Amino acid sequence: MTPPSPGKPLTYADAGVDIDAGDRLVEMIGPMLRRTHGPRVFGEHGAFAGMFRLDYNENLFRRNYRDPVLVACTDGVGTKLKLAIEMEIYDTVGIDCVAMNVNDLVVQGAEPLFFLDYLGLHRQDPETTAQIVKGIARGCEIAGCALIGGECAEMPDIYAAGDFDVVGFSLGVVELKRAIDPTRVEAGDVVIGITSDGVHSNGFTLVRRIIEQAGLDLNRRYDDLDGDRSLGEVLLTPTRIYARPIVKLLSNYKVKRIVSGMAHITGGGLPGNVNRALPDTLDAKLRRDAWEVPPIFDFLRRHGDVTADEMDRVFNMGVGYVLIVRPAFANSIVHQLERLGETAFTMGEVVPGAGNVVIE
């Protein structure tokens, strides 16, 4: 920041906030937002608030919600951003931000409707910020929701030079009678897992400590990882977005409620998230040999000297999303998810217990 010359009037830019750069960013990201808009979005880009129609009068687009329940959530990317800043890779963390929100939202059985983002910045660099927003818009396209607005706050007194934060807010809707309710889970239900795309967006404070203590190089390609990508690129693989396949799967069962519970596997791993889909009278008994753990997790465990129990408590260990389904439909659900582009597998069953997750 260049101090003003003696006798020159002080400006907002002199204090560290560039209004002109912010205006230029608004022009740059307009097309990105519009690519995520369907016919339910209206209003002008740059308005004070985004507008979204929950239902339609037109027969072509009528949704006919009889008893709609709005479902909302908010989440951020966390300290994974520190790696993105160090690697100067900015176009993937926006996908992470969308994923961390919409994956939580569909656990309730909801259809994501729209997304809002908040970017806290040291200073406004329109080209860099546009890359972040590009990722957010791409995430919304993958999830099937509209990016209808957001905020870029330039605060040099809060964020250090080069730092930024990315947070998102998502809103969805579900028919009350279709909402997922853990009390419907029964003994004998089958637990189905869907693979993750790696570490996703949780546990990066531990990841960064491992990198620091083991002297690992983010720019190096390690033989026991993906040989075509550096360690940093592997770790920055965006969180997989499960919204479209889950919404599509649920829409195939208009009457039967064969999915009794779901969980997005985030911080806390399988033990700390699958238990949230269980009543306190049942356990989920999982088979560790039911899925292949991606190499990145063993790599981190070895270099950080982390115990297997701690790995399970912190990371998703290769399972990004879990469904609990009626046993008669388990094979069909796996096949449907595979046709929708996911790698799915049965990984356990529900048994009498106390609301715990047991991995054997």
Over the stretch 75-108, which tens digit does the pLDDT of each residue have? 999 999 999 999 999 999 999 999 999 999 999 9
Q: Report the range of poorest mean pLDDT among 2-11, 239-248, 277-286.
A: 2-11
Write down the CATH number for the domain with range 182-359.
Answer: 3.90.650.10
Query: What is the phi/psi pair of residue 134, to 5°?
Result: -55, -45
In the sheet where 111-121 sits, what is the strand order?
Answer: 68-76, 164-175, 111-121, 146-154
More confident residue, 6 or 166: 166
Q: Report the range of poorest mean pLDDT among 8-17, 84-93, 108-117, 259-268.
A: 8-17
Q: Model-level pTM?
A: 0.88
Residue 12 has pLDDT above 70, yes or no: no
Residue 260 has pLDDT above 80, yes or no: yes
pLDDT > 90 fraction of the chain, expressed in percent and rounded: 72
User: In CATH, which superfamily holds the domain spanning 12-178?
Assistant: PurM-like, N-terminal domain (3.30.1330.10)
CATH code 3.90.650.10 region(s) in the chain: 182-359
CATH code 3.30.1330.10 region(s) in the chain: 12-178
CA distance 224 to 299: 7
